[in-house]
Amino acid sequence: MKLNNTSQYAIRILAYIADHKEKTLFSATELSNELSIPYKFLTKIMTELVKADFIESIRGREGGFKLKKDASEIKVDDILNIFNDSIKDEECILGIGFCNGMCKCALHDQWMEPKLLMQRMFRESSLRDIAGKGCKI
C-alpha cells in the first residue's frame, strides 16, 4: 500500500524546488545530491515533468530546471496523475470489476472514508502548502 517510487521522487523534487524561492535554476546534479535520488533516474523523471509542463528546462551550460507554474497551482494529485498513481474514484481496494452501488466489494463501505480523505489530501495539497515542511531525505 504505497505510492510508486517515481511519484515519491517527483513530489520531493518539486517540493524542493518550490521551497528554494531564492534560487532560480536547479541542476540535475544538485537535485540528485540534495535529494539522494540516482542521477540518471532523476533526469528521466525531470524529462517527464518538463513534458507535463510543470517544469521548464534551460539546456546547455549554466542551464537547469525551474518551476513553470506557481507553486500554489500545482497540486500533489496533479503530480500523481502524470505517473498514473492517483486514487481513481472507481478504483476498488479489492480489485473487483465494478465496485459501486450495484455490485460492491466486501470492503467497499469501510474503504469509502479513508479513500475520500486521501483523495482530498492529494487534491488540496499544493506545492506551496508542502514546500519547506519536511526533511529532504
Binding positions for a second copy, rule: CB under 8 A: 1-3, 5, 8, 11-12, 15, 76, 80, 85-87, 91, 93-97, 99, 103-111, 113-114, 117-118, 121, 125, 130-137
In the complex, minimum distance from the CB of residue 53 to DNA, in angstroms, rounded to a whole number:
12
Q: Which is nearer to DNA, 47 or 100 (CB)?
A: 47
Beta bridge partners of 26: 65
Please provide the distance, in angstroms rounded to a whole number, between the alpha carbons at the two ends of the chain. Answer: 20
Cell of 115: 479513500
Rounded least distance, CB 65 to DNA, Å: 5
Q: Which residues share a beta bridge with 64?
A: 58
Q: Quick one: DSSP state of residue 64?
A: E
What's the closest the beta carbon of residue 90 comes to a second copy, in angstroms?
13
Planar angle of CA 23, 29, 34, nearest 5 degrees: 70
38-67: which residues touch DNA (CB under 7 A)?
A: 38-41, 43-44, 46-47, 50, 57-65
Q: Is 97 in the site for DNA (CB under 7 A)?
A: no
Q: Is 124 exposed, middle or buried (0-12, 13-18, 19+ CB in 10 A)?
A: exposed
Q: With 0-12 CB in 10 A as exposed, 13-18 as middle and 19+ as buried, what is 97? A: exposed
Q: Residue 28 interacts with DNA (CB under 7 A)?
A: yes
Q: Is 20 in the site for DNA (CB under 7 A)?
A: no
Report the interface residues with DNA, using CB under 7 A. Answer: 4-6, 9, 26-29, 38-41, 43-44, 46-47, 50, 57-65
